[in-house]
Structure 1
């Protein structure tokens, strides 16, 4: 668990300036922020709220899942929450030990055997949240504080016999309270494993450490029969153990939180979980665990008035959670009311950048008042400079901050960023956005950068008819190079010979539209639609005659033939 004050507080200068002059000069290390919000020293002073922060701060509002693409500002919102509120519990996703849970031989065996483990997963997440709250609420961090709070719980039981189940639960786990989150996760899983072992035969006990290998170890027919019998016994006993999980204690504990522990309206508590998408590995069991995490968070938020659990999830990851765990009770429509969707307009991004640039300038007294407008050129490529910069972002703060930092470095020693400085900075920026798309979407589509690469040297706008033959030729060459066999490879390999040659092109373009590489203009009178900009839906029937636009952030990296300056993308 991490507490407040996580960003660097060093006194080192954010900018370099010409100390001999009265006017501002860009230095070689000038920056208006960092890609990582946790390390962004400017965030506290220049945080720009586009309306999402108010939803995060309202404990009694249902919105609690921050949803946005990489770089949209999810972590910045949580950092701001830490700055404003005194009682924020930040749970590091590494401490949730998802890797340990996924690697658990028993959990994996139960999952592969079709045993529904939802009840156990919910018990686990409830346990983690409740203990974290108690630790912080009563400052339990050593044996002395543990003993004191247990005495308090016993006194509560004496005064209110109806709390006996909750108090017994706390007494059972009392000696584990000051352990880290990961240790508690392991403790709960170990308890389940011990219960299963205690309920099976001696032969099954021996088999449990290597459950997945039971069939592989059976070389003879008799061994196979014995192996299957043992597996069947463990499955049966596992179902019984899971069905016996006592939720009564947990339910009573939740009532205890509401009525006793968090009853003071003036002491609201927040729990945050961020960066669940980092180092993510596609695994069906992980999606089941996240599903239960979302459900438990929603239920606790609904039942405990002075508590709000805030989860930040990348847009593509939460979409996969619902896709992989669909059942009659877990449908995305039922959870969309919990979303805090992070979308940014061009004007909001302009305001955000202006706050940051003006702050950097104000750190160096100058002979005259200088603002962001004074350090930018009049025009860049026939457009106003901010329009040029923002057009080359996917409407995300991180994109704009990175691009401006590149421009500032290119203008080192100057008082004004010139158009040529921006063009020079765009070369590095565009390549970085190409690589960032590979990182963001590589889990879903391992060949995504190869697919984007097929657009190299295309015109910036085109119809499917304009490029179908060229694209199909490049796609066939891509398949014959034997890349990773993912969804993109299978799509091209399976659909290349369709009677309508445009089908495979359109399906590939659908992927590129989804990730923001392509925009679509359904008709001559309509706007250009982008997946990261509301509204983003385009009717399939409109695509045949639609004009596709390659996003300007990739023009330099892919050597795209640009469109006229008067054509805007937003």
Structure 2
């Protein structure tokens, strides 16, 4: 390989996903966000980010650098699907009993036991007894703490089993209490106590009169509320003062992958909200930092209403949104390029040596590529890799290489946008396709015609997104006297907020995108002032979008 050049179609600057990125550790870029997560004094612990922003890479790096002080909890390993599918849970849901106290207690229990197992290497009955003996001697002069220790004694020889088994055990005990109360209160099924399926089940609650429902709801709610467990909360004090009692024992707990299919979507909101509340309570433990990584769209859809006890402001104060600037992404690419090139025999490679020289006609090649990303590491890494793939043995990438790579890159980014949002908005790619062949900037009239076509999609029996499209276009049908922003505003806001479109305002027709103007589409006055629209440059090639009436390229 010649100095500064790129040789071979297999050259890349790393994988797009952390779990498949061979350069993650060698070329890791230490951003301000990473320093925030690592800080033992910064209380911000909820990492909010779009997919591809690097949150998983950040957490993997944290584990790599603090191998003996990180506990990772995987939501899919907690048997939460088992819990929520129990008939007793459906029964309580029918009665509108809040299960939040139970879910909060489960999260606290899982985290408490995982921390103890990690701190004392509790992996057998003997190890558990040694731990209890040591701790009992340490707290023998404190009656309250001795009582709290009884909570752990209840688990006997099951203390070191996997987290999902412990969660099931707590749930089964809760289930027995509900069944016992149900038999004593309403005699749903005579005979001996048994499983929920032999006593109560989903749909039974619907048969009760209003007064009976209210009485049952109150009784069962009291049982649920008891699962906050005074001894469990006292154990948190023991955790703070006697287990993680020094800076040497500082521990991070990492909870990621909350966006995966680990539980029924219907109750995922409640479980995540309860996790946030549990983490708030754990903030009192000085040598502990629980880090929860969550996708932006899931965070924004969390119901921080009355059930959160007015704690939404606290949740948001402990959150930080991962955002990348142009200089940071340039540094990230430069670092990866140096490491990857060194492996191929060119240790002095740099962005300037690889990309076309800046000229007055085409400008800066890196800026051109960056403008066709959503300002995320995954995007810029993918664009460079596509460009390397078409440049082959060329010493320096050419503008023609970049343009040729853009078609494939743009198509894959459009698919990635679909995959990011398809759970919330099925068949959203059908909406994207409505902008195929558009001339940008689009006038309001042209944009409106395309949005009206979107509103007609529910009439297609093959379209799976009828429910959400009907919701976002409802004002078009039920409010004939409404203004443009009333009719089209909800759908415009959606397409803007996911990064698909930009809005143009003012005499200079400045394009505004969600990254730099995140609240823009939330105000009716801003939408009314919008004079034109554009498809984000990332997706223009994939949709054959034309610039100023001319075909791309």
TM over 0.5: yes
Whether 2:36 is the aligned partner of 1:55: answer yes
Q: Which moved more, 1:551-560 or 1:162-171?
A: 162-171
2:538 equivalent in structure 1: 553
Q: How far apart in 2 are the matches of 1:115 and 1:81?
A: 39
Matches within 5 A, 1:6-17: none
Aligned positions of 1:361-400 closer than 5 A: 361-366=341-346, 369-378=348-357, 382-400=362-380
In the other structure, the counterpart of 2:472 is 491
The aligned counterpart of 2:164 is 182
* Secondary structure at 1:158 match in 2: coil
Question: 1-side partners of 2:495 and 2:102: how far apart?
Answer: 39
Q: 1:294 to 1:394 in 2, by over 3 A?
A: same
Does the residue aligned with 1:528 lie in a helix, a strand or coil? strand
SS in 2 for 1:312: strand
- State the TM-score, normalizing by the size of structure 1: 0.86
Q: What is the CA distance between 1:529 and its match in structure 2?
A: 2.1
Q: Does 1:443 find its partner at 2:428? A: no
Task: Say whether residues 1:312 and 2:293 are aligned partners.
Answer: yes
Tell me which of 193, 196, 203 is aligned to 1:208: 196
Contact 2:6 2:388 in 1 (8 A): no
Offset of 1:234 from its aligned partner?
6.4
Do the aligned partners of residues 374 and 246 (structure 1) sit closer, same or farther apart at CA in structure 2, a change above 3 Å counting? closer
Match of residue 169 from structure 1: 151
Unaligned runs of 5+ in 1: 1-17, 219-223, 566-570
For 1:328 and 1:158, the matched residues in 2 are separated by 37
Check whether the contact 1:55–1:61 (CA below 8 A) recurs between aligned residues: yes
Decide which of 100, 103, 117 is 1:121's aligned counterpart.
Answer: 103
Distance 2:215 2:313 in 1: 39
Q: Secondary structure at the match of 2:506?
A: coil
Contact 1:464 1:505 in 2 (8 A): no
- Deviation per CA, 1:497-527: give whole Å up to 9, x if none: 7346845444322211011111123213474
- Matched positions, count: 535
SS in 2 for 1:512: helix
**Shift in alpha-carbon separation, 1:213–1:248, aligned structure 2, 3 A:** closer
CA separation of 1:169/1:467 partners in 2, compared to 1, >3 Å: closer, same or farther? closer
The partner residue of 1:522 within 477, 498, 505 is 505
The 8 Å contact of residues 142 and 178 in structure 1, kept in 2 or not, is answered as: yes
**Preserved contact between residue 256 and residue 292 of structure 2 (Cα < 8 Å):** yes
Say yes or no: does 1:411 pair with 2:391: yes
| Deviation of the 1:159 alpha carbon | 4.0
Q: Distance in 1 between matches of 2:311 and 2:513?
A: 25
Deviation at 1:353, TM superposition (A): 0.7
Cα separation, 2, equivalents of 1:246 and 1:504: 46
Q: Shift of residue 465 of structure 1?
A: 3.0
What root-mean-square deviation, in Å, do the aligned CA atoms of Structure 1 and Structure 2 show? 2.9
Of 100, 104, 117, the match for 2:82: 100
Structure 2 contact 277–308 (Cα < 8 Å) conserved: no
Q: Secondary structure at the match of 1:153?
A: helix
Shift in Å at residue 388 of structure 1? 1.2
Q: Cα distance 1:36–1:97, how it changes in 2: closer, same or farther (>3 A)? A: farther
Tell me which moved more, 144-153 or 484-493: 484-493
Aligned partner of 2:402 in structure 1 is: 422
Mapped partners of 1:554, 1:286: distance in 2: 31
1:90 corresponds in structure 2 to 72
In 2, the alpha carbon distance for the partners of 1:491 and 1:448 equals 13
For residues 377 and 482 of structure 2, the distance between their equivalents in structure 1, rounded to whole angstroms, comes to: 41
Gap change, CA 1:327 and 1:531, over 3 Å in 2 = farther
Aligned partners of 2:60, 2:169: CA distance in 1, in Å?
30
Looking at structure 1, the residues matched to 100 and 482 of structure 2 have their Cα atoms a distance apart, in angstroms, of: 45
Q: Structure 2 matches for 1:232-311, cutoff 5 A?
A: 235=217, 237-245=219-227, 247-279=229-261, 283-301=265-283, 303-311=284-292
Aligned counterpart in structure 1 of residue 180 of structure 2, from 195, 198, 205:
198
Distance in 2, Cα, partners of 1:391 & 1:163: 58
